[in-house]
A and B are shown apart, each in its own frame.
Chain A
Amino acid sequence: MNGFPLIFRALIVGPARRHPVRVLLPIIGVAIGVAAVAAIHHANRSVSASFRDAASAVSGRSDFVVTGVAGVPVADLAALSFLWPLGAFAPAVTGTAVIDDGTREVAQILGIDYGGDAAIRDIRVVSPENRSEQARLLAGHAVFVPSPFAARHHLSSGSPLRIVAGGVRRSVTVAGLLELSGLAQAAGGDILVTDIFTAQALLGKRGLVDRVDIVLHPGVSRKETAREIAKRLPAGLSLEPPGRAATTADRMVRAFRFNLNALGSLTLLVGIFLIANAVSIAVLRRRPEIATLRAIGASPAGIFVAFLAEGLFIGLAGTCIGEILGLFVSRAALKAVAGTVSSVYLPTARITGTGYTGAFSLSAAVGIAASLLATLLPAFEATAVAPSPAMRPGSIEGIANRRLGFRTGLAAAALAAALAFSRARPVDGFPLFGFAAVGLVVVALALAAPLLVSLAAALPGRLVSRLFGAEGRLATGFFRGGLVRNGIAVTALAMALGMTLAMIVTVASIRETVHLWVESTLRSDLWIKADAGGRSGIVGDLPPEIVPFLAAVEGVEAVDPFRAREAIDAAGHPFTLGSGDFRVVARVGGLPLLDGRDSRAVAVAARERGEVLVSEPYARRFDARSGGTVVLATPSGPRAFRVAGIYRDYSNDRGTVVMDRALYLSLFGDARVTSAAVLAQPGTDANDLRRRILSASEGRYALTISTNRELRREALAIFDRTFAVTRSLEAIAIAVAILGIANALVASAVERRRSFGLLRAIGASGNQIRRATTLEAMLIGATGTLASIAAGTAFAWLLLCVINPQSFGWTVALRVPPTTLTGAVALVLAASFLAGIVPGSIAAAVDPAAALQEE
């Protein structure tokens, strides 16, 4: 392109050298956005990779895995004997244990057929090297542990190791050490490998295995054999690909990950807005130069490419800084995300950081692409600068007035499209249209901003003029005179503050809803689970005998044993299958139904008729209706159940189907207990009862017992931890937006040097100009705040009524926390006042003679 270097210097490099801060601010904005995207993407990738690695370490070389809805009965393995000539198969028992040596770490237990497993999984024993000795050591309650695990826990071959498994304290012997490869890498190396029988005994799964891995000889048709296996498998067993476990785990947390990605993108969106802001202001400011260039024969393409190159430069510089920043931020993000995944979704998940390269590449691509995207519109606008009128001083803002009607029409169209998008169904469970609607509201806001400035200048402007005299008049004039420039600042503020207000309302609403739900559902006095090593979730089951044991303790009125196990539907979508004693529900209620019916009466009827209750997220995800049917896989084959009612549940976003324990036992034969709720007899103190239970269980069971109050507190603590990442991202977004306001105001002050010089020349004092400029900043802040309330209402509605139900399946009651909202608004107004100080000083310091001599 002929003469391009000179065009680039005239329009971009020269001004950037003269006012580097104006380029620096959007660079910082992009850097923060890229860092947020990189960190969140890295954390999310680490979660997926950890699931995948764990699943692949256990699956080894298997071609298929046989699983059962209630485990695979060992007796059913005979059905697979036809596979011997075609390949090999190896059963395995899986579970979790808490290491009871003071570290309270959680480890995975894997029971395998030590003799025949080598065909499937790689196990390398480091010591003892003698194979017969290895077999001998496995005879008792012995386990192999990976060498790093052994080193960390000061173990060697023959060492005793105390664990809590199946809700019982036990002692096992370390049979030997494993090299940290193959199977030993499952659960991040925190694994106890033992034989099937020991694992069954430790985990209370006698007569059952959890999976059977199958590997076929080379040349054997996978397709035909799979068909044959499926044909021979008894009811209740199914054949699935080896990666299914990882996919299922990934699906469990995908709504959480999706929302994190969306919030990370929000930060980048604010960064993009900063670039668009900076380049738009640059185009406005350099209209005379653009017009001159056009007048002397520069083509529109040259002008376009120059501004696009500026966006590219900002994007590249911001991305480079953001990637370095992301390296540090990603560690904190990984810790926060891993914490949420293990406390809310999968307590036994071991999340380890994966390579940064993927996150690096993606965030770099997103950062640069977003920067170019942000520049496209203003660069295109630059090409539309006509050479003639723009060359006259003072013509910069003239065009904006003429486009007000057009822009307002477009804004209305964007809002209408947002409304239409908000009614669209989720795409594969993701609220894509909901987020698109949020984007359209942002677009509408940006388009309507000059109109808002125009209206704000007409209404409060008069008040400001009256209150602050000459400075007020000046401020109003400045404000109205910069429709586009101030419109950009107003939009940046309204977008960031609106999103923050919406997030405040959303989080407060969900928290209050969860609080009320916890209050209404937790009717028991004590909640008992297997010792989880201090973790908030469930780690391991309790044995069936725990129910009569608890019932026999003095002061116990009733025990509600709850059983929950992960299940998948025919399409592979995960949900939770649960059972409880509906007789207890019939007594105390505590299962709030969506339709407002009394859950006690519904539980009685459901127990009598063999019906199920489903949670609200389940109903949303699987289109279940009260009075309709759901089909569940049972050991005796698929079976339809009538839905007696839909209950509110905020503990699980995958959805839960609950049936009476008696029905569950008859269908699944699984008597183990996930947790137990205990009702104390009237007049019995819950803390006393806890002491009695712990005392009675001493030496038999390893239990964690929470009182009702502790459990409620814990539920809210988990909630707060889950939203900690959200709050950090909000804070980042608003910080970036304040940078944007400062950027717009500084640019505005620099651009109006001539006007300030003129004002000084006709007698305005530096202080008067400073006050007028600060008042203008306050007007921008106030207008932006008003706009943010409108935008925030739209965002909050979309988040609470569209995105949240589509992501998590929860209905949330609106709650507006006035103190927090007022605080946020006051903070932003104060920030806009502070943002006006620097440009105020610039304006006040203008030398009238020099400014008037400038072109």
Chain B
Amino acid sequence: MLCFRGSGRPNSNSEFSILNSQFSISTYSPIVPSDASPAPAVSCRGLRKIYAGAEPVVALDGVDLEVVGGEFLALVGASGSGKSTLLHLLGGIDRPTAGQIRVAGREIGRLSENELVLYRRREVGMVFQFFNLLAHLTVLENVELPRRLDGHADAAASARRLLERVGLLRRAGAHPYELSGGEMQRVAIARALVTGARLLLADEPTGNLDSRNGEIVLELLDEIRRERGVTLLLATHSSAAASHADRTAMVKDGKVSGSSSLVSGGTKPGTRNPKPETS
């Protein structure tokens, strides 16, 4: 259960606590500069992904999707439905077989390998189900790494601020294997944001967590999305997790079908889906 104190507005010095949780944050200075560009819109047209093999697997089969800047979209579907593949294509860690992906108006599928490296480094942050933290680096090093890769001298300072934001600054010197699942996922979120990425892709971020920690992570994602003006896409098979989103799109057999939101068309970021009665 969450209880907010303070304004809760982005870019403000907010203070909040989570009941029964272990962290409390008093100050927060975002990395994103105040003159940051608007959150990126995402657009997919006729997106197909086929995995080659003896029996080719059609993971995505003509996906059309529009996400407005700053929106929180939940992609809901069963395992193997194609939602992770869609996030991987959006994150530039895999290439589509056909179709178009536009992020902030730029065609991602046509980027060269080097441009993709820079895209992943600067413009998109990913959070994975299995955390994918580097076991031999400390928490701080894990978080600062993407910013270091981009050549920023302030990487450690930025990482510290983000760790403070996710409530794990005191664990900065620990290694990932010393953390709980929830803590690891919060570190992963901090890592995803450290370069100032404006598109956040979360692939089953609560899939490996208990419900309490899952709730904490989802709240954190949503808060950070609001604070930083980030476009957030969440892949999940849980309708409870999806309830945090502005809008929900169903993914089934490689197709994205229908969406629901409080606001028609999903054009009003910051508005939540109704909470489901059961989780």
Where the two chains meet, the residues of A that have a C-beta atom closer than 8 Å to any C-beta of B are 2-3, 6-7, 9-11, 13-15, 17-18, 288-289, 291-300, 302, 386-389, 391, 393, 402, 854-855
Interface flags for B124-166 (1: CB within 8 Å of A; 0: not) read: 0010101111111100010011101111000100000000000
Q: Which residues of B contact A295 (CB under 8 A)?
A: 91, 93, 120, 126, 132
A296-B149, A386-B94 are known; give 19 further A-B pairs, CB within 8 A: A2-B148, A3-B146, A3-B149, A6-B145, A7-B145, A10-B134, A10-B145, A11-B136, A13-B136, A15-B136, A296-B120, A297-B118, A297-B121, A297-B146, A297-B149, A386-B93, A387-B93, A402-B53, A855-B135
**Residues from chain B with Cβ under 8 Å of A9 in the complex:** 136-137, 141
With both beta carbons as reference points, the residue of chain B lying nearest to A10 in the complex is identified as B134
Interface of A is mostly: helix
A-B complex: 5 closest residue pairs judged by Cβ atoms: A14-B136, A297-B121, A3-B148, A387-B93, A3-B149
Could you tell me the distance in whole angstroms from the C-beta of B202 to the nearest C-beta in chain A? Answer: 13
Q: Given A18-B136, A288-B132, A292-B134, answer yes or no on A6-B120 (Cβ-Cβ < 8 Å).
A: no
Given A3-B149, A388-B93, CB of A14 within 8 Å of CB of B195 = no
Greatest chain B CB density within 10 A among A2, A15, A854 is at A2
Select which of A302, A386, A855 is within 8 A of B130 by beta carbon: A855
Tell me if B134 and A297 are in contact (CB < 8 A). Answer: no
Which residue of chain B lies nearest to A389 when distances are taken between CB atoms in the complex? B94
Do the beta carbons of A289 and B94 come within 8 Å of each other? no
Min CB distance B242 to A, Å, is: 22
**B residues within 8 A CB of A18?**
136
Q: Shortest beta-carbon distance, B184 to chain A, in Å?
A: 9
Q: Which residues of A contact B155 (CB under 8 A)?
A: 3
Cβ of B255 within 8 Å of any chain A Cβ, yes or no, is no
**Complex: A3 Cα to B155 Cα, angstroms:** 10
Best-buried of B114, B126, B145 by chain A (most CB within 10 Å): B145
B137 near A14 (CB under 8 angstroms)? yes
Q: Which residues of B contact A297 (CB under 8 A)?
A: 117-118, 120-122, 146, 149-150, 195
Counting CB contacts under 8 A, is B247 at the interface?
Answer: no
Residues of chain B with a CB closer than 8 A to A389's CB: 94
Q: Are A391 and B128 in contact (CB under 8 A)?
A: yes
Query: A residues within 8 A CB of B146?
Result: 3, 296-297
Q: Does B88 make an interface contact (CB < 8 A)?
A: yes
Q: Are B121 and A296 in contact (CB under 8 A)?
A: yes
Any A CB within 8 A of the CB of B4: no
Kindly state the separation between the CA atoms of A340 and B107 in the bound complex, as whole angstroms.
Answer: 73
| Residue pair A296, B128 in contact (C-beta under 8 Å) | no
Q: A2-B149, A297-B146 are in contact. Are A391 and B195 (CB under 8 A)?
A: no
State in angstroms the CA–CA spacing of A300 and B131 once bound together: 22
User: Which among A288, A291, A296, A854 has the greatest number of chain B C-beta atoms within 10 A?
Assistant: A296
Distance in Å: Cβ of A313 to nearest Cβ of chain B = 16
Residue of A with least CB distance to B152: A2
Interfacial chain A residues near B132, Cβ < 8 Å: 288, 291-292, 295, 391, 855
Nearest A residue to B148, CB-CB: A3
Chain B: number of interface residues, binned into ranges: 35 or more
Contact B149 A302 (CB under 8 A): yes
Proximity string of chain B (88-99) to chain A, C-beta cutoff 8 Å, 1 when within and 0 when not: 100101100000
**In whole angstroms, how far apart are the Cα atoms of A13 and B138 in the complex?**
13
Q: Does B191 contact A (CB under 8 A)?
A: yes
A289 to B144: give the CA distance in the assembly, Å.
16
Q: State in angstroms the CA–CA spacing of A736 and B121 once bound together.
A: 43
A294-B93 contact given A2-B148, A6-B141, A6-B145, CB 8 Å threshold:
yes
Q: Which B residues are CB-close (under 8 A) to A288?
A: 132
Q: What's the nearest-Cβ distance from chain B to residue A685, in Å? A: 81
Q: Most chain-B CB neighbours within 10 Å: which of A15, A288, A298, A389?
A: A298
A569 to chain B, nearest CB (A): 60
23 A/B residue pairs, CB under 8 Å, sorted by A: A3-B145, A3-B146, A6-B141, A10-B134, A10-B136, A10-B145, A14-B135, A14-B137, A17-B136, A292-B132, A295-B93, A295-B120, A295-B132, A296-B145, A297-B146, A302-B149, A387-B88, A391-B130, A402-B53, A855-B130, A855-B131, A855-B135, A855-B177
What is the CA–CA distance of A296 and B177 in the complex, to the nearest angstrom? 20
How far apart are the CA atoms of A222 and B63 in the complex, in Å? Answer: 88
Cβ of A6 to closest chain B Cβ, rounded Å: 5
**A296-B191 in contact (CB<8A):** yes
Contact yes or no, B93 A2, CB < 8 A: no
A727 to chain B, nearest CB (A): 44
Q: Which A residues are in CB contact (< 8 Å) with B144?
A: 6
- In whole angstroms, how far apart are the Cα atoms of A292 and B122 in the complex? 15
Name the residue of chain A whose CB is nearest to the CB of B93: A387
Central interface residue in A3, A11, A300, A854, by most chain B CB within 10 Å: A3
CA distance A326 to B91 in the complex (A): 53
CA distance A58 to B4 in the complex (A): 99
Q: A292 contacts which chain B residues (CB < 8 A)?
A: 132-134
Q: Please measure, in the bound complex, the distance between the C-alpha atom of A2 and the C-alpha atom of B94, giving whole angstroms.
A: 23
* Bound CA–CA A391/B195 (angstroms): 21
Which one of B94, B130, B141, B176 contacts A388 once the chains associate, using CB atoms below 8 Å? Answer: B94
Pairwise interchain contact B126-A296, C-beta atoms closer than 8 A: yes
Q: B99: shortest Cβ distance to chain A, in Å?
A: 17
Query: B128's closest neighbor in chain A, by CB?
Result: A391
Interface contact A293-B134, CB-CB below 8 Å = yes
Cβ A299 vs Cβ B88 within 8 A:
no
Tell me how far the C-beta of A18 lies from the nearest C-beta in chain B, rounded to whole angstroms: 7
Measured between beta carbons, the chain B residues less than 8 angstroms from A17 are 136
* Residue of chain A at shortest CB distance from B121: A297
B-chain residues with CB within 8 Å of residue A15 when the two chains form the complex? 136
What residues of A have a CB within 8 angstroms of the CB of B134 in the complex? Answer: 10, 14, 289, 292-293
C-alpha gap A843/B43 in the complex (Å)? 49
Min CB–CB distance A812 → chain B (angstroms)? 49
Complex Cα–Cα for A302 and B148 (A): 12
Contact partners of B130 in chain A: CB under 8 A: 391, 393, 855
B120 contacts A388, C-beta separation under 8 Å: no
Taking a contact as CB atoms under 8 Å apart, the answer to whether A10 and B88 are in contact is no
- Interface membership of chain B positions 65-80, coded 1 if the CB is closer than 8 angstroms to chain A and 0 otherwise: 0000000000000000
Tell me the nearest residue of chain A to B125, going by C-beta: A296
User: Which of A17, A299, A402 has the most C-beta atoms of chain B within 10 angstroms of its own C-beta?
Assistant: A299
Inter-chain contact A2/B145, CB cutoff 8 Å: no
Kindly provide the distance from the CB of B105 to the nearest chain A CB, expressed in whole angstroms: 21
Question: In the assembled complex, which residues on chain A have CB atoms less than 8 Å from the CB atom of B191?
Answer: 296
| Interface-central residue, B126, B131, B136, by most chain A CB under 10 Å | B136
Cα of A826 to Cα of B168 in the assembled complex, Å: 58
**In the assembled complex, how far is the CB of residue B224 from the closest CB belonging to chain A, in whole angstroms?**
17
A14 to B113, CA, bound (A): 28
Asked whether A6 lies within 8 Å of B148 as measured between CB atoms, the reply is yes
| A444 to B27 alpha-carbon distance, docked (Å) | 63
User: Contact check: which of A6, A387, A402 meets B137 at CB < 8 Å?
Assistant: A6
Nearest A residue to B192 via CB reads: A296
Least CB distance from B179 to A in Å reads 11
A382 CB to closest chain B CB (Å) equals 15
**Most-contacted residue by chain B among A11, A297, A302 (CB, 10 A):** A297
A854–B177 CB distance below 8 A: yes
Separation in Å of the A121 CB from the closest CB of chain B? 68
Bound-state Cα–Cα, A855 to B133, Å: 9
Considering the chains assembled together, what is the distance between the CA atoms of A14 and B136 in angstroms?
Answer: 5
Bound CA–CA A386/B88 (angstroms): 11
Measured between beta carbons, the chain B residues less than 8 angstroms from A296 are 120-121, 126, 145-146, 149, 191
CA distance A402 to B132 in the complex (A): 25
How far in angstroms is the closest Cβ of chain A from B94? 4
Cα distance A391–B120 in the bound complex, in angstroms: 15
Closest CB-CB distance, A826 to chain B, in whole Å?
Answer: 41
Closest to B146 in A: A296
CA distance A297 to B128 in the complex (A): 15
Closest to A853 in B: B177
- Give bound CA distance, A488 to B135, whole Å: 26
Q: Which residues of A contact B53 (CB under 8 A)?
A: 402
**Complex contacts, A388 vs chain B, CB 8 Å:** 88, 93-94
Residues of A close to B91: CB separation below 8 A: 295
Shortest CB distance A855–B (Å): 6
